[in-house]
Amino acid sequence: MAQPDFIIIGGTKCGTTSLTGYLDRHTDVYLAPKELRYFTKEHRWHLGEDWYRRQFAEAGPNQIVGEASNAYTRDPVYAGAARRVHEALPEAKLIYLIREPWARMASHYRHRMVTGREWRPANRALREEPSYLAVSQYGHQLSLYRKLFPKRQILVLSSEGLFREPKKELSRLCGFLGIPFKDLPLEKENASADRRAVSSLLRPLARFPFLQPLLHRSRNLLPGDLSSEIAFSVTGATKQLFNRKLNSDRRLLLSLIEEDAVCWPYYDEDLHSEPNPKLSPTLTQAV
C-alpha cells in the first residue's frame, strides 16, 4: 500500500494551496486531500498507519505520493508533529513554504476573521493568541525537522519567489521531487473561496455560538471576498516586541537554509518600523 514520498508541511497563509493545486494537476503526482492532519489530530493519529496509507490507495503505479498540512509547522499549538512524521516516514521529502512574517500574520488574522474564528482587534489578537507569531517563526519550526531529517530531504521555498518566478521555483520543486517539470499555471487559489466574508456588521456576532449557523449562511449570500477590507493595525510596542523575536528567529533560519529564500530584511527593533512596503503586495491573497 502506498505511503507518502513527500509532505508539504506549511506554512499557513504562505501559498500552500496554490502549490498543492499545481502538484495536483501534475500527472506524475498523487495528492491526498489537503489537511489530513494525521500527525497532529489525536483521533486520526490513533486510527493508525493502515488508515493513513489507505488515504493514498488511489495513487497510480508510476505516481509519487504526497500530502499537505499547514498544521505540521504550528508548534507549540501542535507539538510533536516533526517527531511523528519522522517516526512514520523517515525517508520522506519535506517542502516548507515561508513568507515575509508580517504579511503572513496579517493574512492569517484576516482569514480567521472572515471564517468567524477571530473577533478581536488585530493588536489584541496577536498579543493573546501565540500561534500568530509562532507560525511566522520559521527558524524554530524548521529546526524541529532539521534535528531529525537531513538537509537533503528538505526544500524551503519563499512564497514571494514562487509567485514572482513560478517557472524557476516550480522547476526546483520538480527536480527536488524527481519528476519532470511541467509548465502548468500556478493559480492564486484561495482555500476559503467558498466561505465568503461576513459583513462588518455581522462580524462581531461571530463570538456568539448560537448565531454561527446564521453567519455561515450569510457568507454564501455576500458578493466577493471582503478579507482585504479588514483592518490590521498593530501598536508600536507590539511591533517592537515581535520584531525582536522575528529577528532572532531570522538568524536561526539563516543558519539552516540558503539566504535567497529569506527575502525580508532584519526589522528595526527601536523605531517601531512598519513591515517593508516593497514586499510583493500581490501576495496578500496567497494561501
Using CA atoms, how far residue 237 sits from 203, 271, 276, 281, in Å, is 27, 10, 17, 24
Helix (H) or strand (E) holding 158, with range, is strand 154-158
> Hey, is 66 helix, strand or coil?
strand
| Residue 197 belongs to a domain | yes
Please answer whether residues 229 and 125 qualify as being in contact, where contact means their C-beta atoms are separated by less than 8 angstroms. Answer: no
For residue 236, the enclosing domain spans 6-285
Q: What is the pLDDT of residue 272?
A: 43
**Distance between CA 104 and CA 174 in Å, rounded?**
25
Q: What is the pLDDT of residue 261?
A: 77
| Residue 1 belongs to a domain | no
**Distance between CA 132 and CA 126 in Å, rounded?**
6
Q: Which residues does 167 contact at the CB level (< 8 Å), separation at least 6?
A: 181, 183
Q: Which residues does 114 contact at the CB level (< 8 Å), separation at least 6?
A: 192, 195, 196, 197, 198, 219, 225, 226, 227, 230
Interval 181-188 mean pLDDT: 90
Percent of the chain with pLDDT over 70: 80
Q: What is the pLDDT of residues 125-181, one digit of tens each?
A: 999 999 999 999 999 999 999 999 999 999 999 999 999 999 999 999 999 999 999
Interval 92-121 mean pLDDT: 94
Cell of 42: 489525536
Return the DSSP state at 222: S
- pTM: predicted TM-score of the whole model, two decimal places: 0.84
| Residue 63 belongs to a domain | yes
Half-sphere exposure (Cβ direction) of 167: Cα atoms closer than 13 Å: 1
**Distance between CA 172 and CA 5 in Å, rounded?**
17
Cell of 199: 459583513
CATH code, 275: 3.40.50.300
Q: What is the pLDDT of residue 226?
A: 56
Q: What is the pLDDT of residue 269?
A: 82
| Residue 129 belongs to a domain | yes
Using CA atoms, how far residue 216 sits from 179, 190, 195, 200, in Å, is 41, 17, 8, 14
More confident residue, 213 or 234: 234
| Residue 244 belongs to a domain | yes
| Confidence grade of residue 263 (pLDDT, cut at 50, 70, 90) | confident
Asked whether residue 199 carries a pLDDT value surpassing 50, the answer given is: no
Asked whether residue 197 carries a pLDDT value surpassing 50, the answer given is: no
Please answer whether residues 5 and 90 qualify as being in contact, where contact means their C-beta atoms are separated by less than 8 angstroms. Answer: no
Asked whether residue 73 carries a pLDDT value surpassing 60, the answer given is: yes
Interval 85-105 mean pLDDT: 97
**Distance between CA 260 and CA 90 in Å, rounded?**
27
Return the DSSP state at 228: G
Q: Which of 18-27, 87-96, 109-118, 223-232 has the lowest mean pLDDT?
A: 223-232
| Residue 191 belongs to a domain | yes
More confident residue, 268 or 21: 21
Domain count, the chain: 1
Q: What is the pLDDT of residue 225?
A: 52
